């Protein structure tokens, strides 16, 4: 009977069954029930006392305070000793509700055992969670000192974007994507392959001197959800950045915006298109003269490049598209970029740029003074317009 009913009963029901059966058998019933159920006579006597006691709250299996005591209750020093072990290794704000430690639970359990505590690594993990610790990865959130006009610049940039879009003029977000090694190198990610047949790549990531690195410079058309990527082979310079914009306009932009008189460029504050680079502005002036466009540039505030639309609307999808794929040649790089699409309708074009862009090109004071640049009233170093020739066009 016991073996049949046991799996269907909780602890309290089992005890009451033992007590009822022992009382029904009368003299010698405790011993016979204990032997049949495989429990001690003391357990049956405790069950009889529970049977005679008033019923407890509905759903309670044990009496208040019953059951095995928790380790922290039996060994109150264990929590303090655990805190002492992890606190010197704690990263981040100790007042934060979530903290993390670089020591494993097995290492911590061994250290506590050496100190005389009887704990398992699972108990250590449980105690850590109770103390507000969790497994976490580092998060890129620190941007350094924030410029006092950071938010104001974002608002100004947004106003410029809305103004250009209402007028039907192109708004593009520009930046250089992370340089990529070309050759048989491991790329992060996974893709479906026949079982046991992964792609084989080089053990070390030393650049191939004959292939070098691919330098993808992207132009993202905000209104049309279109991307253009110029894949360079030489150096990421301001001349290369403007040449990428020039190629976008010649191959896509001027067809999409045949009557455009102006273009707005949203760019980071640093890198090849940084607001301090004279070469960037000189090359933009040359392109403005060639295209007949008035070029307005609004830079994102320093330290906020991750908010550039091109990062999450174009570059992130390119990275997803070539995950795990070895970029064995420049042709493969161009092909994979061009094959990037999203459910929201993103389309991307890419081309290889075999041009040379030497480093260290200087722009003299006279050359810089000749640039037809008009700083805007609000942070003219971040916001400016370069006309195809000196003019008095109003800033939108």
Higher-confidence residue of 228 and 129: namely 228
In eight-state DSSP terms, residue 306 is: G
User: Average pLDDT for residues 315-334, to the nearest whole number?
Assistant: 86
**Secondary structure class of 213 (helix, strand, coil):** strand
Higher pLDDT, 209 or 386: 386
Residue 396: pLDDT band (50, 70, 90) is: very low
pLDDT digits 0-9 by tens, 339-348: 999 999 999 9
Residues 6+ apart with CB under 8 A from 363: 278, 279, 282
Looking at mean pLDDT, say which of 4-13, 19-28, 131-140 comes out highest: 19-28
Q: What is the pLDDT of residues 22-35, one digit of tens each?
A: 888 888 888 988 88
Per-residue pLDDT at 201: 55
Distance CA 327, CA 320 (A): 13
Task: Identify the bridge partners of residue 294 per DSSP, sorted by sequence position.
Answer: 262
**Max mean pLDDT range (20-29, 106-115, 355-364):** 355-364
For residue 91, name the pLDDT band (cuts at 50, 70, 90): very low
pLDDT for residue 56: 62
| The two three-digit tokens of residue 216, written as one number | 């993808």
CA distance 225 to 334: 19
- Kindly give, in sequence order, each residue whose CB lies less than 8 Å from that of residue 153, ignoring residues fewer than 6 positions away: 147, 300, 301, 378, 379, 382, 383
DSSP structure class, residue 115: T
Greater model confidence, 384 or 41 = 384
Size of the chain, expressed as the number of residues it contains: 396
- Cα separation of 343 and 149, whole Å? 36
Give me the residues paired with residue 95 across strands.
none
157, 378 in Cβ contact below 8 A?
Answer: no
pLDDT at 139 (0 to 100): 62
- Tell me the average pLDDT across 356-368: 95
> Does the predicted TM-score (pTM) go above 0.85?
no
Q: Which of the pair, 130 or 89, is modelled with greater confidence? A: 130
pLDDT value for 133: 78
Q: Mean pLDDT for the chain?
A: 83
Q: What is the pLDDT of residue 200?
A: 61
Q: What percent of the chain clears pLDDT 70, i.e. is strictly above it? A: 78
Tokens of 137: 């990865």
Q: Count CB-CB contacts under 10 A for residue 385.
A: 23
Which of 89 and 110 is assigned the larger pLDDT? 110
* Helix and strand element counts for the chain (H, E): 16, 11
Measured CA to CA, the distance from residue 277 to residue 176 in angstroms comes to 15
User: What would the mean pLDDT of 58-82 be, rounded to a whole number?
Assistant: 66
Q: Which residue has the tokens 């990062």?
A: 311
How far, rounded to the nearest angstrom, does the alpha carbon of residue 350 sit from its chain's CA centroid?
26
Q: Which residue has the tokens 């030497």?
A: 358
What six digits make up the tokens of 136?
């976490």
Distance from C-alpha of 111 to C-alpha of 379, rounded to nearest angstrom: 58
Q: What is the mean pLDDT of residues 197-217?
A: 70
Name the pLDDT band for 103 (thresholds 50, 70, 90).
low
> Span 130-141, mean pLDDT?
70
For the cut 90, the answer to whether the pLDDT of residue 375 exceeds it is yes
In this predicted structure, what is the pLDDT of residue 82?
Answer: 80
The predicted-structure confidence for 141-194, as pLDDT tens digits, reads as follows 565 567 888 899 999 999 999 999 999 999 999 999 999 888 765 566 555 556
User: CA 49, CA 83: separation in Å to the nearest integer?
Assistant: 42
Model confidence at 57, pLDDT cuts 50, 70, 90, reads low
Q: pLDDT band at 62, cuts 50/70/90? A: low
pLDDT at 333 over 70: yes
Q: Between 103 and 287, where is the model more confident?
A: 287
Which range, 54-58, 121-125, 245-249, has the best average confidence (pLDDT)? 245-249
Write down the pLDDT at residue 59: 57
Span of 42-46, 58-62, 251-255, 320-324 with lowest mean pLDDT: 58-62
pLDDT at site 89: 43
Cβ atoms of 373 and 366 closer than 8 Å:
no
């Amino acid at each position: 009977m016991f073996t049949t009913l046991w799996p269907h009963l909780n602890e309290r029901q089992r005890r009451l069954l033992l007590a009822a059966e022992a009382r029904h058998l009368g003299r010698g019933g405790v011993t016979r029930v204990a032997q049949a159920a495989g429990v001690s006579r003391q357990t049956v006597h405790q069950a009889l006392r529970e049977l005679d006691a008033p019923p407890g709250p509905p759903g309670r299996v044990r009496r208040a305070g019953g059951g095995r005591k928790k380790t922290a209750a039996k060994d109150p020093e264990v929590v303090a000793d655990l805190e002492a072990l992890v606190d010197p290794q704690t990263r981040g704000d100790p007042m934060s509700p979530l903290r993390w430690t670089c020591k494993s639970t097995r290492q911590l359990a061994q250290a506590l055992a050496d100190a005389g505590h009887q704990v398992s690594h699972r108990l250590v993990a449980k105690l850590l969670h109770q103390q507000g610790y969790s497994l976490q990865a580092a998060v890129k959130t620190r941007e350094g000192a924030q410029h006092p006009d950071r938010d104001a610049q974002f608002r100004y940039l947004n106003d410029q974007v809305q103004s250009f879009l209402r007028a039907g003029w192109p708004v593009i977000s520009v930046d250089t994507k992370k340089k990529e090694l070309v050759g048989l190198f491991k790329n992060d990610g996974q893709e479906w392959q026949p079982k046991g047949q992964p792609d084989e790549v080089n053990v070390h990531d030393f650049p191939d001197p004959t292939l070098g690195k691919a330098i993808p410079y992207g132009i993202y058309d905000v209104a049309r959800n279109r991307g253009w990527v110029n894949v360079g082979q030489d150096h990421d310079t301001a001349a290369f950045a403007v040449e990428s914009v020039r190629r976008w306009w010649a191959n896509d932009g001027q067809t999409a915006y045949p009557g455009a008189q102006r273009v707005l460029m949203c760019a980071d504050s640093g890198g090849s298109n940084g607001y301090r680079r004279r070469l960037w502005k000189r090359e933009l002036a040359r392109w403005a003269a060639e295209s007949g466009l008035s070029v307005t540039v609004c830079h994102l505030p320093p330290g906020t490049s991750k908010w550039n639309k091109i990062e999450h609307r174009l570059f992130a999808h390119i990275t997803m598209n070539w995950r795990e794929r070895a970029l064995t040649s420049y042709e493969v790089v161009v092909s994979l970029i061009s094959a990037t699409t999203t459910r929201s309708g993103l389309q991307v074009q890419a081309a290889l740029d075999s041009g040379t862009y030497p480093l260290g090109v200087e722009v003299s004071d006279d050359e810089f003074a000749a640039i037809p640049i008009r700083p805007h009233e609000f942070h003219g170093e971040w916001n400016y317009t370069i006309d195809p020739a000196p003019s008095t066009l109003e800033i939108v």
